[in-house]
Amino acid sequence: MDSIGPNLVPTKDGSSTLHSSEYNAHYHSIHGAYTESMHIFINHGLRDYLKDNKKALDTPINIMEMGLGSGLNALLTAESIDQQVVNYIGIEAHPITEKATYLSLINSLPHAIDNQLIESFWDTPWNTPTKITPIFSLEKRHGKIENLELTPSSIDIIYYDAFAPECQPHLWQEDIMRTVLSWLKPGGYLLTYCAKGSFRRTCKSLGCRLESLPGPPGKREISRFVKQSKES
């Protein structure tokens, strides 16, 4: 598999992130990798969605992540559920190939994560849905989002965590977002750190309601989009 060859970088909350020399970009905020992931994707994504959408615990929540990266968002998702069943698809064009790098990043988090969970995430084969725990399934997809095929209106929550528009502009343009948002169920959430005006206007034009939320340290605002039904 191709690899970006990322370097480990400490962030201000004590957790580490990775730096891509190819894109000259960090995987997470240097103001706090763990803090950013929890704030955007877990608190304003997973937890708010479960609070706002009461479902039977055995009815799976389907999550898709653009930019699986180190697996941090997926690990924190698996750790944050008690009874809710979650099916998680994470797409990554440049997988991390060094286990030592992965372990160093995960072990830098402010609290210990179950070692079996850490190992299971690394050992999960690519492109194969795998049951990690009795309530969490993971499918690591190796490839580009342009080639990803998902069933329309099948995803409850999208973590859109690609590199910034300045680094990967095509991943934030209308043609890609039209496809991505077609996978989202009516009422589903798309979460991203990006608050760029042109991106927000694109998603609103494609049938989403923008919720501008306070950002984590170092970021004034983040974006949550809620897909509207055709009747809305």
* SS3 annotation, the chain: CCCCCCEEEECCCCCEEEEECCCCEECCCCCCHHHHHHHHHHHHHHHHHHHHCCCCCCCCEEEEEECCCCCHHHHHHHHHCCCCCEEEEEEECCCCCCHHHHHHHHCCCCCCCCHHHHHHHHHCCECCCEEEECCEEEEEEECCHHHCCCCCCCEEEEEECCCCCCCCHHHHCHHHHHHHHHCEEEEEEEEECCCCHHHHHHHHHCCEEEEEEECCCCCCEEEEEEECCCCC
Give the tens place of pLDDT for each residue, 50-95.
999 887 788 999 999 999 999 999 999 999 999 999 999 999 999 9
CATH number of 33-227: 3.40.50.150
Give the tens place of pLDDT for each residue, 139-180.
999 999 999 999 999 999 999 999 999 999 999 999 999 999
